[in-house]
């Protein structure tokens, strides 16, 4: 069977998990999904890109990283110090992009994804930055090139949200989404619901390793805004800029506000929401929005909201994430699961890769 030729850019927590899974589950992945993968190139910031047309040896790669040796010492490889040039020269069937792309300009992932799509490669990515800042452009480029661009790990870190929407809910028209999309913030709010103030709850999250030493991206809402922008592009086909998301973080929330909400039978949650509205502010169906009969816009908000306890999102606590998807039918679908973690992010990429492998004609 002809292997799927994979270029793996970013060989940190997520990239290594994916490579290890492809190695240790090789026989099962072939038996279950007919998927055989050869990792033909791997890149990091420090090591540049290495390439081997027959496929790199995964245990050797993992050992080189574990023993802090340069990847270029892998036997019989061609080496590029410039990763983009290496990718353009060596290509592959699929790019798996797992660099630490920033939310400010989406780089380096954005350039790598653009280059791969432009040369007709499928792409799976775990990086929020490129998809948040240029999601619609990249999805359009993929469509024009006749390839897939999948990004399950960018929202709820691999808990299957995007595939639920794209495949499981195919044929429905989604008009609104609400979600709790940041586990760090949710664990802080859960701690505040037990009587702690913001500073205590943040310190506890930092001590437990849930919050970064500089928690700004989480607590000011940047991370949730990025995921909201990805959903706007992937689910609603609308390109929003970060400034178009009405945003309020959680840093000014007080213990008193949380207790007042509690007394009213409510829980304060940091909620991301997207909904289609007519220009007069009334809610419209997706069908109406698509007809174009009524001018509509996609309202995007990330803010603390006091939710009644009857709202399923009110009962999502700690590191859990959840998303409620409202279609044109009265039924709403909820997906609940972890929103962070090495396993989840790698698993989301693996699921995306399997979906692509299934769609690629096999040559036996």
Ligand X SMILES: NC(=O)c1ccc[n+]([C@@H]2O[C@H](COP(=O)([O-])OP(=O)(O)OC[C@H]3O[C@@H](n4cnc5c(N)ncnc54)[C@H](OP(=O)(O)O)[C@@H]3O)[C@@H](O)[C@H]2O)c1
Stretch that binds ligand X, among 51-59, 99-107, 230-238, 264-272 (CB under 6 A): 99-107
Least distance in angstroms from the C-beta of 321 to ligand X: 11
Q: From the CB of 153, what's the least distance to ligand X, in Å?
A: 5
Closest separation in Å from C-beta 267 to ligand X: 26
Is residue 108 close enough to count as binding ligand X by CB under 6 A? yes
Selected from 12, 55, 242, 338, the binder of ligand X by CB under 6 A is: 12
Is residue 13 at the binding interface for ligand X, with CB under 6 A as the rule? yes
Among 4, 6, 7, 10, contact with ligand X (rule: CB under 6 A): 10
The answer to whether 334 touches 350, Cβ cutoff 8 Å, is: no
Strand order in the sheet with 246-247: 246-247, 296-308, 266-278, 174-180, 320-327, 332-338
Contacting residue, 45, 144, 199, 287, with ligand X by CB under 6 A: 45
Nearer to ligand X, 15 or 249 (CB): 15
227 is catalytic: yes
- What is the 3-state secondary structure of 97-147? ECCCCCCCCCCCHHHHHHHHHHCCCEEEECCHHHHHHHHHHHHHHHHHHCC
Q: How far is it, in rounded angstroms, from Cα 284 to Cα 328?
A: 9
Q: Which stretch binds ligand X (CB under 6 A): 10-18, 193-201, 255-263, 289-297?
A: 10-18
Residue from 6, 15, 314, 354 in contact with ligand X (CB under 6 A): 15
Q: Which of 91, 242, 337, 341 binds ligand X (CB under 6 A)?
A: 341
342 binds ligand X (CB under 6 A): yes
Q: Kindly tell me which of 46 and 280 has the beta carbon lying closer to ligand X.
A: 46
Residue from 227, 269, 358, 362 carrying the catalytic annotation: 227
Query: Among 14, 116, 181, 351, which residue sits at the site for ligand X (rule: CB under 6 A)?
Result: 14
Q: Toward ligand X, which CB reaches closer, 312 or 341?
A: 341
310-318: which pairs have CB atoms within 8 A and are 24 or more residues apart? 313/178, 313/179, 313/180, 313/269, 313/271, 314/266, 314/267, 314/269, 315/267, 316/180, 316/186, 316/269, 317/186, 317/190, 317/193, 318/183, 318/186, 318/187, 318/190
Q: Does 135 bind ligand X (CB under 6 A)?
A: no
Piece of 38-46, 115-123, 140-148, 251-259 that binds ligand X (CB under 6 A): 38-46
Q: Cis ω on the peptide bond leading into residue 139 (within 30° of 0)?
A: no
Residue 346 CB contacts under 8 Å (≥ 6 apart), including other chains: 14, 17, 18, 21, 153, 158
Where does this chain touch ligand X (CB under 6 A) — which range of 41-49, 140-148, 255-263, 288-296?
41-49
Q: Between 97 and 307, name the residue whose CB sits nearer to ligand X.
A: 97
For ligand X, the closer of residues 39 and 298 by Cβ is 39
# binding residues, ligand X (CB under 6 A): 26
Neighbours of 24 (CB within 10 A): 12
What separation, in Å, do the N-terminal and C-terminal C-alpha atoms of the chain show?
4
Q: What is the b/e burial string over 168-195, where b = at least 16 CB atoms within 10 angstroms of the residue's CB?
A: eeeebebbbbbbbbbbbbbbbbbbbbee
Near ligand X by CB under 6 A: residue from 44, 187, 321, 326: 44
Backbone angles phi, psi at 235, to 5 degrees: -100, -40
The answer to whether residue 155 forms part of the interface with ligand X (CB under 6 A) is no
User: Contact at 8 Å (CB) between 94 and 356?
Assistant: yes
Q: Which residues bind ligand X (CB under 6 A)?
A: 9-15, 43-46, 83, 98-101, 108, 126-128, 153, 157, 340-342, 345
Active-site positions read 227
């Amino acid at each position: 069977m002809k292997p799927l030729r994979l270029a793996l850019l970013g060989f940190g927590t997520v990239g290594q998990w994916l490579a290890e899974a492809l190695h240790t589950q090789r026989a099962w992945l072939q038996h279950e999904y007919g998927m055989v993968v050869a990792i033909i190139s791997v890149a990091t910031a420090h090591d540049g890109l290495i390439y081997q047309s027959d496929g790199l040896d995964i245990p050797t790669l993992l050992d080189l990283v574990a023993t802090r040796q340069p990847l270029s010492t892998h036997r019989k490889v061609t080496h590029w110090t410039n990763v983009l040039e290496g990718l353009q020269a060596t290509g592959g069937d699929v790019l798996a992009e797992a660099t630490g792309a920033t939310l400010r300009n989406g780089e380096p992932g954005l350039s790598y994804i653009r280059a791969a799509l432009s040369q007709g490669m499928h792409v799976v990515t775990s990086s929020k930055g490129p998809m948040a800042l240029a999601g619609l452009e990249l999805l359009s480029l993929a469509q024009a090139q006749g390839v897939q661009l999948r990004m399950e790990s960018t929202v709820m870190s691999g808990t299957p949200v995007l595939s639920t929407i794209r495949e499981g809910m195919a044929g429905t028209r989604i008009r609104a989404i609400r979600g709790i999309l940041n586990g760090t913030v949710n664990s802080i709010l859960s701690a505040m619901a037990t009587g702690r103030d913001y500073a205590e709850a943040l310190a506890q999250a930092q001590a437990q390793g849930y919050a970064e030493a500089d928690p700004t991206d989480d607590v000011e809402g940047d991370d949730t805004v990025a995921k909201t922008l990805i959903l706007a592009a992937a689910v609603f086909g609308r390109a929003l800029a970060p400034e178009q998301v009405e945003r309020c973080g959680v840093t000014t929330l007080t213990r008193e506000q949380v207790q007042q909400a509690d007394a009213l039978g409510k829980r304060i949650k940091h909620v991301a929401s997207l909904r289609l509205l007519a220009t007069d502010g009334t809610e419209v169906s997706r069908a109406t929005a698509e007809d174009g009969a009524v001018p509509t816009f996609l309202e995007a908000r990330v803010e603390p909201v006091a939710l009644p306890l009857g709202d399923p999102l009110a009962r999502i606590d700690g590191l859990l994430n959840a998303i409620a998807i409202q279609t044109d039918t009265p039924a709403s679908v909820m997906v609940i699961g972890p929103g962070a973690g090495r396993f989840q992010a790698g698993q989301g990429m693996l699921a995306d890769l399997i979906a692509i492998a299934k769609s690629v004609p096999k040559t036996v």
